[in-house]
Structure 1
Amino acid sequence: MSLQPIGIFDSGVGGTSIWKEIHKLLPNEHTIYLADSANAPYGEKSADDILQLSIKNTEFLLGQGCKLIVVACNTATTNAIAYLRETYDVPFIGIEPAIKPAALNSISKTIGVLATKGTLTSALFNTTSKKYSEGITIIEQEGEGLVPLIEAGKIESSEVKNLLEQYLNPMMAKGMDYLVLGCTHYPYLIPLIKEIVTDKVAIIDSGEAVAKQTKSILEQHKMAANKQKSSHQFYSNKSAEELNYFLTAYEVSVTYLDF
């Protein structure tokens, strides 16, 4: 089992922020990454559509022999991971907005969650939010329009900055001191976000925690790789160039997949 790859899928390029954390912590693991960019963003789709796309992505990765699958998409996790875990006989690692550490550490007792509509309206997010909301004000903000701009590589564009100011300034005005990024695309916006919120707001994303959980599950199931030279396959069903833009620091290639 240790020679088999870790499978990772996302609605697009955002999950590469998760892949980078996994690769950093687990450099000996082979990986296969699937960017379903042709169907991005998931956050604006119905729960059933998100489930069907998640099933399709999972079955592709299982067909490639993956030993574990990381659902590197908050929207897919909150809408589909329960079904995936019940249906397929491999471990699944999901991603939820990190409300717990923000709620526990907030001094102002006001935290913000920037996420997609699909995540904010899901039953799993609602359950998590209620669990840690006692004595805490949680400001939910849909990041409408951000994912398509990130997919297009317009990370430092005026359009992105204007949207972020529109979303974040009202949250800061309400006393937010922690901002939870509830979409794997959003870590690529952290430099711009920091310009807006300055050092008054701590920013939390889930990448490092997901990598640690992946390591723990691999060890628990005795599936961790030995000291092998790892290889990495990246697939996109929209534009190999768009995905490659986020991987320029790595010696990897991206393949277009008619999927």
Structure 2
Amino acid sequence: MNSQSPIGLFDSGLGGLSIWKELHALLPNEQTIYLADNKNAPYGEKSKDEIISFSIKNTEYLITKGCKIIVVACNTATTNAIKILRENYDVPFIGIEPAIKPAALQSKTHKIGVLATKGTLSSELFISTSNQFRDSKDFVEVVGTGLVQLIEEGRINETEELLRNYLAPMIKADVDNIVLGCSHYPFLIPIIKKIIPEHINIIDSGIAVAKQTKNILEQNGLLLAQPKITENYFYTNANLLLLTQFLTQNEVKTNKVFFEEF
């Protein structure tokens, strides 16, 4: 493992590509390997043991590919499994969790909306993080049932009715920040903006994750020192055509896409 080795990312499916885009924008010369576990998506409705099992499998696959750092580009996998991954594998891990702290610090109405999966909202990490602010802030937590499935099936335009239902209690409660607690949800931001008042701020973790990845690479002497021509590899274990179409629609141009069992 050295600076020439790739950065690995995994998610239950396509959502982590929102993290990949921010990472690639910040570190365009780094080679990446993205793992989409579409076969088992969504993780948010799985048990904790299943999520841990999937996360271990994904991690070991990326380690066999020689990855120098692994980004757990999935809120549910981070909040349920990253502690175990860090305890068992000798590679740096970057997690993604709902951006509760920045939302709490920015909020003027002291009311914060959180749109996330059931697996994230019920996790120990989310509960402990949000509990730090519950004395001074009210949280309106909503499970985004069905959203991940629609995104995974390439039916983003069909999410508006669900989003209106999920966002309604947040708007009614006068939240001024909405935290997107699933890496799939940033792809819904254009639709969300149509529904919520202009003064409500939408917070996702993509840029922060990219910056933290860069910081950890620097600290470990693993940041690529010299620019080079790199290729980015994307793997799926379910639907190669959908992944290819999704990459094209989101203007991810420098890629090699593969179907592989893992």
Q: Residue 223 of structure 2 aligns to a residue in which SS? A: coil
Alpha-carbon distance between aligned partners in 2 of 1:254 and 1:191, rounded to the nearest angstrom: 27
Residues 1:228 and 2:232 are matched in the alignment: no
> Does the residue aligned with 2:113 lie in a helix, a strand or coil?
strand
CA contact (8 A) 2:231 2:254 kept: no
Matched, 1:238 2:238: yes
Does residue 143 of structure 1 match 2:144? yes
Residue 21 of structure 1 corresponds to 22
Match of 2:115, as an amino acid? L
- Aligned counterparts of 2:40 and 2:118: Cα–Cα separation in 1: 15
Tell me the equivalent position of 1:52.
53
Partner residue of 2:95?
94
Distance 1:119 1:86 in 2: 20
Q: Which amino acid aligns with 1:68?
A: I
- The Cα of 1:258 is off from its aligned counterpart by 1.9
Cα offset for 1:54? 0.2
Calculate the aligned-residue CA RMSD, in Å. 0.8
Secondary structure of 1:247's counterpart equals helix
Matched to 2:221, the amino acid is K
Using the alignment, how far apart are the partners of 2:259 and 2:21 within structure 1? 20
Higher deviation after alignment, 163-172 or 249-258? 249-258
Runs of 4+ in 1 over 4 A off after TM superposition: none
**Is 1:10 matched up with 2:2?**
no
* Contact 2:232–2:254, Cα closer than 8 Å, also in 1: no
Number of matched residues?
257
The residue that corresponds to 1:219 in the other structure is 218
One-letter amino acid of the counterpart of residue 150, structure 2: L
- 1:254 is matched with which residue? 257
Q: How far is 1:80 from its partner?
A: 0.2
Q: CA deviation at 1:182?
A: 0.2
| Structure 1, unaligned runs of 5 or more | none
CA–CA distance in structure 1, aligned partners of residues 7 and 160 of structure 2: 34
Q: Tell me which residue corresponds to 1:166.
A: 165
Residue 134 of structure 1: how far off its partner (Å)? 2.6
Quick one: which amino acid aligns to residue 34 of structure 1?
Answer: L
- The CA deviation at 1:238 is 0.7
Alpha-carbon distance in 1 for matches of 2:56, 2:12: 13
Instruction: Indicate yes or no: 2:206 matched with 1:203.
Output: no
> In the TM superposition, what whole-angstrom CA distance separates every residue of 1:92-113 from its partner, at most 9, and x where no partner exists?
0000100111111111110000
1:133 offset after TM fit, Å?
A: 2.4
